[in-house]
Structure 1
Amino acid sequence: MKKNYQLLPTLALSLFLLGGCAKNEEVAPSITNIAVANPDFQTLEDAAIRGNVALLLGNKNPNDGGNYTVFAPTNAAFARLGLTSAQDLTGLQQPFLRNTLFYHVFSGTLPGSALTPGSSSASALAGLQRRIIRRADNSLYVNGSKILGTDVRASNGLIHPIDKVLLATGADVLNSALALNNGDVFVKPELTFLVEAVLYCNLAGALTATPGSAPITVFAPTDQAFKDLGVLLNVPLNHPKDIRKLPVSVVTSVLLNHVVGGAQGSKFTSELPESTTVLSAGGAPVVLGAFNNGVLTVKGGGNGTNVANMVIPDVQCTNGVVHVIDRVLLP
């Protein structure tokens, strides 16, 4: 059922009365209070507490007219990442969670009327911008997250509910993968096979931001995706170092099949051309499926009918966008 987010302030106001004020006088709820009052933002409330930003967003901004603007992920947005409870959030390193929440915040008032296609806005995470994108069906996105409503008013700013958590690393693709590999994002390391493969093939430079380097879109297979590939090839890939059992030329060809540049470099799901074929950095075709519920399937020429699903889409890096997928794309 579609939520009427414009009613949130009215619903929340009834819960926050000033005990010492005149009869019928009401207190406008803060951004934090709205999250607390509305069950659709329960996981956001839990994240704000663990990320130590609840108090910040419960008070006036000391700058920019006293206001913040927050792109607020719903419970369903967090659930896309497997985060459905306060306990689940402990699987994320606290500094990363805190930075992620800051990436959702604009210091000042950013009304819905200012969310124009092609524009960008600064986030409270220093130096990182978000893009506003409009699709052909007139739906509006911030990066790859659909904007479900605008201008939910709070005493200290505005809330725009969104359907996906915004993710940004503040690092290039290589160093973002290394952060996952080192357990700096999730407590449990991830992308360890991908990092080992990149080092094995001496492709680190292709994923690193350097002066004049072109932006890229990277489809990054999970560790389980590489283990599944080992079963397919009858070559046990139980440990990242096992990648070195495969010929370097083969691994190089496979890795390059996961990188797309040119016109499709640095594209969020909301921008990728659906139901079409694009060329990878290795020259082999990569098939993109239909845009459905904010994601697309991806398939290499050697995958037959087996498509890869995006498990963590739209990770913004300094030199491109990464979409974590559940299958290795074979050329």
Structure 2
Amino acid sequence: MKTLKANLFKKSAMLIGLVAVVLFSSCKKDDDEMPANESITDIVVANNNFSLLKAALTKADLVNVLDGKGTFTVFAPNNEAFVAAGLDTEAKINAVPVETLKKILLYHVLGQQVTSSAIATASNTPVETLANGNVFVTKNTSGVFVNGANVIQADIMASNGVIHVINTVLMPPTGNIVEAAQANPNFTFLVEAVLRASQGSTNLAQVLSGAGPFTVFAPTNQAFMNAGFANVEAIRAADPAVLTSILTYHVVAARVFSSDLTEGAQPATVNGGSVTITLNGGAKVKGNTNTTASVISSANMLTTNGVIHVIDQVLLP
């Protein structure tokens, strides 16, 4: 009987190889586009929906960069996006260390002009940003997405590039799946479960720290408590094999953003089973023996080796 670890890597190779299609069919300005006189900075400053973005660019000393020469594509978070990220006032933005803020903002900028028509229909194509990290761009029948965030207004032309408005502040990854979970207080039980499972025949922590990519539907602490694990001591006392079976049922061997989820889809998990996706009334995922579907309460937490979606139930095979 093959080991679970071997199956993990076999499925990682077979399930979903990320699209190798060239993202941009052309980066030249379309012939029918009208020339723009205002720079990217001018447009941001003049638009009240970008007042928090303006404050962030000022704090990070990037105003002149996006006002100058060169061609850029900016995935520009509107005020609603900053509010959702907890940066709803200029004071909160100014409290972010300058280098951290600069890295976040440059993660929204490409060093070339890319209009929406120049984006090929493809899923999760990696594109390098000025922060020296990749964003993953998808174009499908529902629109254009970057790291799962929807482009709500495309092709605001500037004299030095183009702006695409998005509804999310994109956060560059700071670690792999295990490291991201360890840094999140809502995942204390999940981290303990992964560590306990790793004491069995498969070092799950090592696997989830590997190259991936993986997608993890990550139950919160409350989800584990609702599933009968009263505290972390209960997890530490659990059978590693049982925990491994449960935890690998939460893992898909591919990078799957919310923009990739479709109604009724049944993605295979690395333990050999499948989960069911529903979108009516918000994105949900259901395990085979769960009586109800789990709500995806927070989506698209990017890591260096995949993506995490937060859920409110432990999925049961």
Q: TM-score range by the shorter chain?
A: 0.7 to 0.9
Alignment RMSD, CA only? 3.1
Confirm whether residue 252 of structure 1 aligns to residue 250 of structure 2.
no
Q: Secondary structure at the match of 2:295?
A: coil
Confirm whether residue 301 of structure 1 aligns to residue 301 of structure 2.
no
Return the letter of the residue paired with 1:34: I
The structure 2 residue matched to 1:316, chosen from 292, 302, 307, is 302
The structure 2 residue matched to 1:230, chosen from 225, 231, 234, is 225
Confirm whether residue 199 of structure 1 aligns to residue 195 of structure 2.
yes
1:204 Cα deviation after fit: 1.0
- C-alpha change, 1:287 and 1:252, in structure 2 (3 Å) is same
Q: Tell me the distance in 2 between the aligned counterparts of 1:90 and 1:251.
A: 43
Q: Which has the higher contact order (CA 8 A, sep 6+)?
A: 2
Q: Tell me the distance in 2 between the aligned counterparts of 1:75 and 1:284.
A: 41
Contact in 2 for aligned 1:133/1:143 (Cα 8 Å): no
* Per-residue deviation, residues 178-232 of structure 1 (Å, max 9, x unmatched): 4x34xxxxxxx4533322322222111221224xxx53221123xxx22343145
- C-alpha change, 1:47 and 1:275, in structure 2 (3 Å) is farther
1:107 Cα deviation after fit: 1.3
Return the letter of the residue paired with 1:323: H
Q: Tell me the distance in 2 between the aligned counterparts of 1:78 and 1:299.
A: 31
Task: Structure 2: state its 5+ residue gaps.
Answer: 1-35, 199-203
Q: Which residue of the partner structure matches residue 266 of structure 1?
A: 255
Task: Structure 1: state its 5+ residue gaps.
Answer: 1-26, 182-188
Q: Tell me the distance in 1 between the aligned counterparts of 2:52 and 2:66.
A: 16
Q: Which residue of the partner structure matches residue 70 of structure 1?
A: 74
Q: Which residue of the partner structure matches residue 289 of structure 1?
A: 278
1:291 Cα deviation after fit: 6.7
Which stretch has the larger CA shift, 41-50 or 126-135?
41-50
- C-alpha change, 1:123 and 1:308, in structure 2 (3 Å) is same
Within 5 Å, which residues of 2 pair with 1:64-103?
66-86=70-90, 95-103=99-107
Contact in 2 for aligned 1:67/1:157 (Cα 8 Å): yes
The structure 2 residue matched to 1:327, chosen from 310, 313, 317, is 313
Q: Tell me the distance in 2 between the aligned counterparts of 1:49 and 1:193.
A: 40
Within 5 Å, which residues of 2 pair with 1:116-265?
116-118=120-122, 120-135=126-141, 137=142, 139-169=143-173, 171-178=175-182, 180-181=183-184, 189-202=185-198, 203-210=204-211, 214-221=212-219, 225-233=220-228, 235-237=229-231, 243-261=235-253, 265=254
Contact in 2 for aligned 1:226/1:327 (Cα 8 Å): no
1:167 Cα deviation after fit: 3.5
* Per-residue deviation, residues 99-135 of structure 1 (Å, max 9, x unmatched): 3322210113222332222255321121424323213
Contact in 2 for aligned 1:30/1:57 (Cα 8 Å): no
Confirm whether residue 59 of structure 1 aligns to residue 67 of structure 2.
yes
Q: Tell me the distance in 2 between the aligned counterparts of 1:193 and 1:49.
A: 40
Q: Secondary structure at the match of 2:152?
A: coil
Q: Secondary structure at the match of 1:275?
A: coil
The structure 1 residue matched to 2:54, chosen from 45, 55, 60, is 45
Q: Secondary structure at the match of 1:141?
A: strand
Q: Tell me the distance in 1 between the aligned counterparts of 2:314 and 2:56.
A: 32
* Per-residue deviation, residues 307-331 of structure 1 (Å, max 9, x unmatched): 22231x2233343222233433233
Return the letter of the residue paired with 2:138: I
Q: Tell me the distance in 2 between the aligned counterparts of 1:159 and 1:308.
A: 32
* TM-score (norm. length: structure 1): 0.70
1:289 Cα deviation after fit: 0.9
Contact in 2 for aligned 1:123/1:130 (Cα 8 Å): no
Q: Tell me the distance in 2 between the aligned counterparts of 1:198 and 1:243.
A: 10
Q: Secondary structure at the match of 1:43?
A: helix
1:81 Cα deviation after fit: 4.0
Q: Tell me the distance in 1 between the aligned counterparts of 2:114 and 2:39.
A: 16
Q: Tell me the distance in 2 between the aligned counterparts of 1:192 and 1:96.
A: 25
- C-alpha change, 1:288 and 1:96, in structure 2 (3 Å) is farther
Contact in 1 for aligned 2:126/2:134 (Cα 8 Å): no
Q: Tell me the distance in 1 between the aligned counterparts of 2:313 and 2:97.
A: 25
Give the percent of matched residue pairs that are identical in Structure 1 and Structure 2. 34
Q: Tell me the distance in 1 between the aligned counterparts of 2:61 and 2:290.
A: 44
